[in-house]
């Protein structure tokens, strides 16, 4: 049974702050108030080679210190409240993300690639440090964590000891999770409550490692993360080698027109309500 008490994006934020909660969070939720427009990638693609150092497409979040070497950006966990995280300052409105990474090893240690919107739509890749045979895919809609039956597990060889390419391609018609170019899962709007639970609003990309098996973590989180982390075995290091980000700007393929920002036209959270400038 897939059991996870909070979304990946919420867990990373809460781990970084030393808090534990069952609530997701957003700086401004456009479903309840008027929020600033989301800056768009638009026709400008991001191609980051972390073996060469930091990438301007990403912002380093508070409390994060990264090292860069031939393996890429090293996201290191040394103690319980460590949660090194970076996030894009711009958003995609449907699109494709390809990332080459080696997940962090260690019981209770989690590596996450998260696409998340202001109204808490979310699409994830996740790796448990003690599970060296699988990757996990997941999605959330509008911050709904009332059930935890949306996750799936996918075989992959030695994810904490070798690099693989993980892809999310997200269109109005389908979400496709891929490993090394091979599709391992698809989701259509019809499979997500007829589209009502289908992620469909502009998203940032967040990369991070965090402690799921912390002493202050919820029991369900600890169980999902494989148990309590043993910090006598620290440091635990995940490597992000490279990432490619392509914005589809509301369509089912790459945008070739200039788009500066995405605006929520109402409080429905529907893709049809989003307009671009």
Q: What is the rounded CA–CA span in Å between residue 179 and residue 190?
A: 24
What's the predicted TM-score (pTM) here? 0.92
Give the CATH number, domain containing residue 231: 2.60.120.200
* First-residue to last-residue Cα distance in the chain: 43
Burial class (CB in 10 A: 0-12, 13-18, 19+), 219: exposed
Residue 271 belongs to some domain of the structure: no
Q: Is residue 32 part of a domain?
A: no
Range of the domain at 133: 8-22+39-256
- Total domains in the chain come to 1
Top pLDDT among 11 and 192 is at: 192
The answer to the question of residue 247 being in a domain is yes
Residue 31 lies in a domain: no
Q: Name the H helices within the chain.
A: 8-17, 219-224
**Is 213 among the domain residues?**
yes
Q: What is the pLDDT of residues 162-214, one digit of tens each?
A: 999 999 999 999 999 999 999 999 999 999 999 999 999 999 999 999 999 99
The answer to whether 116 and 168 have CB atoms below 8 angstroms apart is: no
pLDDT band, residue 10 (cuts 50/70/90): low
Question: Is the pLDDT assigned to residue 133 strictly greater than 50?
Answer: yes
- Cis preceding-peptide flag for 235 (omega within 30 of 0): yes
Q: What is the mean pLDDT of residues 130-149?
A: 91
Assess if residue 275 is contained within a domain.
no
What positions carry a catalytic annotation? 122, 126
- Asked if the structure places residue 277 within a domain, the reply is no
Under 8 Å between Cβ of 5 and 146: no
């Amino acid at each position: 049974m897939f059991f996870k008490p909070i979304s990946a994006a919420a867990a990373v934020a809460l781990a970084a702050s030393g808090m534990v909660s069952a609530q997701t969070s957003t700086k401004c939720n456009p479903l309840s108030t008027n929020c600033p427009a989301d800056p768009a990638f638009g026709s400008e693609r991001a191609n980051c080679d972390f073996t060469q150092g930091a990438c301007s497409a990403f912002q380093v979040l508070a409390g994060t210190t990264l090292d860069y070497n031939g393996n890429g950006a090293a996201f290191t966990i040394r103690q319980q409240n460590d949660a090194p995280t970076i996030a894009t300052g711009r958003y995609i409105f449907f699109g494709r993300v390809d990332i080459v990474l080696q997940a962090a090893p260690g019981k209770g240690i989690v590596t996450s690639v998260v696409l998340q919107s202001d109204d808490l739509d979310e699409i994830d890749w996740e790796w448990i440090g003690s599970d060296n045979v699988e990757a996990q895919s997941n999605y959330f809609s509008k911050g709904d964590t009332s059930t935890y039956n949306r996750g799936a597990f996918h075989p992959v060889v030695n994810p904490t000891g070798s690099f693989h390419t993980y892809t999310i391609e997200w269109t109005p018609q389908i979400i496709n999770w891929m490993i090394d170019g091979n599709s391992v899962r698809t989701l259509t709007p019809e499979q997500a409550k007829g589209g009502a639970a289908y992620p469909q609003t502009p998203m940032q990309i967040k990369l991070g490692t965090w402690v799921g098996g912390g002493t202050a973590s919820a029991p369900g989180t600890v169980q999902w993360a494989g148990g309590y982390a043993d910090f006598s075995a620290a440091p635990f290091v995940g490597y992000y080698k490279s990432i490619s980000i392509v914005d589809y700007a509301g369509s089912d393929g790459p945008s070739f027109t200039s788009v500066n920002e995405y605006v929520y036209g109402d409080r429905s959270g529907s893709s049809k309500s989003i307009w671009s400038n």
